[in-house]
């Protein structure tokens, strides 16, 4: 499902599509609170990413579950936005969703028109992933799952994680380090391959 750049709010000149691009697709980066969505968009974006991070205050105490991410001081309250060229012809617009459940009402709008999604997972808060994947399935948005690397996080094999997440065998599951551009780009390339395989299967 491709869309034209004119369907987005008019971006600054440096954020417009490269002149060689023939298609732009929308991808959402989703996951629980503090899983690294803003980090991934920022690490891989070829333009200066748009973020809507705000400093966390005592107003969120008792509302936001900060277990495992106690040192987090800022949070996304609307969305993150970035762009990456997968090839000379294909450009991805990246939309990072807010992770706190009180902002999940924004997800439906962000999911609209999305070609696919990356679900970021933190093994310290694995249970946060179930609602995220459920929302994508309800919206009909295909996704891959990437386990983000955190110091001190429980170490499990991908086979163990696939079982714990109840992931079908055909849904790609991989590890990544959202801080590193190459790792984040590999996740997005895996998503594109997966989406291509789904189209090929449907047309066969």
Angle at 171 between CA 120 and CA 160, to 5 degrees: 70
Percent of the residues in the chain that have a pLDDT greater than 70, as a whole number: 72
Residue burial 142-163, b: 16+ Cβ < 10 Å; e: rest: bbbbbbbbbeebeeeeeeebbe
CB-facing half-sphere around the CA of 90: CA atoms within 13 A = 13
CB count within 10 Å of CB 110 equals 20
When comparing pLDDT for 36 and 9, which is higher? Answer: 36
User: How does DSSP classify residue 183?
Assistant: H
Tens-digit pLDDT profile for residues 88-135: 888 999 999 886 666 666 777 788 999 999 999 999 999 999 999 999
Closest CA to 83 of 30, 22, 38, 42: 42
Task: Name the residue range of residue 24's domain.
Answer: 5-203
Average pLDDT in the chain: 81
194 touches 142 (CB < 8 A): yes
| 147 beta partners | 121, 175
Which tens digits make up the pLDDT trace of 20-59?
A: 566 889 999 999 888 999 999 999 999 988 876 555 445 4
Burial class of residue 127 in the structure, from the number of CB atoms within 10 Å of its CB (0-12 exposed, 13-18 middle, 19+ buried): exposed
Give the count of domains, the chain: 1
Q: How many CB atoms lie within 10 A of CB 49?
A: 19
For residue 84, what is the domain's CATH number? Answer: 3.40.50.300
Q: Which two tokens stand for residue 119?
A: 């679900």
pLDDT of residue 194: 97
- Give the pLDDT band (50/70/90) at residue 65: low
- pTM comes to 0.78
- Cα–Cα distance measured from residue 81 to residue 42, given in angstroms and rounded to the nearest whole number: 9
In whole angstroms, give the CA distance from residue 30 to residue 143. Answer: 10
């Amino acid at each position: 499902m491709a869309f034209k750049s004119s369907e987005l709010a008019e971006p600054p000149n440096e954020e417009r599509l490269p002149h060689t691009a023939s298609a732009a697709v929308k991808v959402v980066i989703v996951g629980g609170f503090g899983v690294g969505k803003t980090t991934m968009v920022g690490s891989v974006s070829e333009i200066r990413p748009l973020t809507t991070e705000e400093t966390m205050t005592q107003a969120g105490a008792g509302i936001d579950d900060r277990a495992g991410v106690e040192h987090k001081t800022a949070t996304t309250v609307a969305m993150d936005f970035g762009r990456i060229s997968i090839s000379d012809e294909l450009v991805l617009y990246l939309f990072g969703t807010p992770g706190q459940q009180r902002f999940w009402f924004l997800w439906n709008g962000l999911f609209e028109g999305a070609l696919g999604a990356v679900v970021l997972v933190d093994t310290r808060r694995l249970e946060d992933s179930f609602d995220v994947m459920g929302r994508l399935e309800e919206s009909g948005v295909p996704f891959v799952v990437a386990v983000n690397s955190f110091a001190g996080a429980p170490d499990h094999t991908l086979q163990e994680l696939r079982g714990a997440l109840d992931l079908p065998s055909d849904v790609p599951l991989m590890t990544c380090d959202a801080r590193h551009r190459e790792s984040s780009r590999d996740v997005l390339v895996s998503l594109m391959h997966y989406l291509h395989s789904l189209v090929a299967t449907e047309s066969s």
